[in-house]
Amino acid sequence: MDPLDRRGFLALGGAGLICTIAGHQITTDGGQVDVEKLAKEVPVPPKVAAAERGGGEPRRELAAFATSSSAVREYWIAAEAMNWNIVPTHRDQMMAEKVKEGKTTFKAYGYRPYSPGFKSPLAPAQVPGPLIEAAVGDTVIVHFRNKTGSPVTMHPHGIFYANEMDGTYKGKWTDPGGFVQTNRTFTYVWEAREGTEGTWLYHDHGPMDPLPVFKGLFGPLVIRKPGEVPPEAEFFLGFHSWDPTVTGLKGNYACINGHAYAGNTPTLEATTGQRVAFHVYGMDNFFHTFHLHGHRWIEPDGRIADTKTFGPADSFRVEFTEDNPGRWFYHCHVFQHLHMGMNGWYIVS
């Protein structure tokens, strides 16, 4: 039960540079990074500082964004630090093995949903963050409060957003939405215009990138077609990995929704006859190959498939009518990732 050491780092693709922040090179074999300490050295960009002083570019009024939308979907989401246990059961039900003796808990970041006005949390801070859902025609408003010790943001995929709403750190061109400091709140306004339907995601894209993403700041976003009836059984699965630079733990974890190894990863359930949809996305440095036992689906191009290869920030949906009862695996078919925890149960009754 020897914990993984440096060899583990290499298992998921090679040691080396993660990023350069404030003149420091962060590498995978440089030990755990203290993101919040590093964040202190990052200067506030000029437009952000100006906005804080009350000058600079005026924030576009909410009314200017309003389309003739059917609805406004409003969210209150905070980025927070929390203790997160990657392998709570310390067991891998697939190989019937004990795994990861010792500590599997570390201080992660998670997006956390709150009731209006941030009055009270609607759920614990988790990895991934809460599902943001809209239909074509809606306006999505996200009140984002940063309760971590580093500037972080929310950057969406797929949905329409004006330039100052892209939640992206851009060096000296950074807008307030690209550099939300500790205890500040920023209101993102995005539009689910025609031609934005699909399975998407959101994640941090701030000055500490990719460290906050790697600590857990990502989540799913879905835009429904007009009149779409969601499938009866629907799952949103983020494939990502954790290494010691981020966790301070020994070894690497290949995770689905923040956990590793069957029995810790999501155990999904459906019944025969149901319409079932898996929404899948990646959010690390690797490609993954989603595979589901006992089933197959029709790809948008008409091809029948039971595997699908994807990279970081790719997102897709596979859908079928359930017809095959039993306890099934879903997993990443990259054998190395499968055996580092990237598998789970799909149980059909």
Report the site for a second copy in 63-102 (rule: CB under 8 A). Answer: 92-99
Query: Quick count: other Cβ atoms within 10 Å of Cβ 42?
Result: 17
- Binding positions for a second copy, 13-32, rule CB under 8 A: 13-23, 25, 27-29
Using the rule CB under 8 A, is 301 a contact of a second copy?
yes
Using the rule CB under 8 A, is 140 a contact of a second copy?
no
Query: Quick count: other Cβ atoms within 10 Å of Cβ 155?
Result: 24
Using the rule CB under 8 A, is 311 a contact of a second copy?
yes
Stretch that binds a second copy, among 59-67, 104-112, 231-239, 323-331 (CB under 8 A): 323-331
Stretch that binds a second copy, among 114-122, 127-135, 152-160, 228-236 (CB under 8 A): 152-160
Strand 268-270 to 343-348 pairing:
parallel
Q: Residue 14 and residue 12: Cα distance in Å, rounded?
A: 6
- How buried is residue 68: exposed, middle or buried, by Cβ count under 10 Å (0-12/13-18/19+)? exposed
- 3-class state of residue 336 by DSSP: helix
Distances 209 to 148, 217, 231 between C-alpha atoms, Å: 14, 10, 35
Query: Quick count: other Cβ atoms within 10 Å of Cβ 306?
Result: 14
Please say which residue, 214 or 242, places its beta carbon nearer to a second copy.
214
CB of 10 to a second copy, least distance (A): 4
Q: Residue 252 and residue 244: Cα distance in Å, rounded?
A: 7
Taking CB under 8 A as the criterion, the residue among 9, 75, 235, 239 binding a second copy is 9
Annotate each residue in 164-183 with x if it binds a second copy (CB under 8 A) or - if it does not, as one string: x-x-xxxxxx----------
Contact present, 305 and 296 (Cβ < 8 Å): yes
Taking CB under 8 A as the criterion, the residue among 69, 338, 342, 344 binding a second copy is 338
Taking CB under 8 A as the criterion, the residue among 80, 204, 234, 314 binding a second copy is 314
Taking CB under 8 A as the criterion, the residue among 10, 82, 131, 233 binding a second copy is 10
Taking CB under 8 A as the criterion, the residue among 138, 197, 204, 234 binding a second copy is 197
Stretch that binds a second copy, among 119-127, 207-215, 226-234, 264-272 (CB under 8 A): 207-215
Using the rule CB under 8 A, is 334 a contact of a second copy?
yes
- Binding positions for a second copy, 220-259, rule CB under 8 A: 251-252
Q: Residue 192 and residue 225: Cα distance in Å, rounded?
A: 10
- DSSP code of 171? G
Q: Residue 259 and residue 261: Cα distance in Å, rounded?
A: 7
Using the rule CB under 8 A, is 160 a contact of a second copy?
yes
Contact present, 199 and 278 (Cβ < 8 Å): no
Taking CB under 8 A as the criterion, the residue among 33, 35, 39, 45 binding a second copy is 45
Please say which residue, 78 or 79, places its beta carbon nearer to a second copy.
79
Structure token pair of residue 41: 């050295």
Using the rule CB under 8 A, is 333 a contact of a second copy?
yes
Please say which residue, 78 or 86, places its beta carbon nearer to a second copy.
86
Using the rule CB under 8 A, is 37 a contact of a second copy?
no
Taking CB under 8 A as the criterion, the residue among 138, 204, 234, 284 binding a second copy is 284
CB of 178 to a second copy, least distance (A): 11
Q: Residue 281 and residue 290: Cα distance in Å, rounded?
A: 10
Using the rule CB under 8 A, is 210 a contact of a second copy?
yes
Q: Residue 206 and residue 213: Cα distance in Å, rounded?
A: 9
Task: Determine the distance from the C-alpha atom of residue 113 to the mean position of all C-alpha atoms in its chain, rounded to a whole number.
Answer: 14
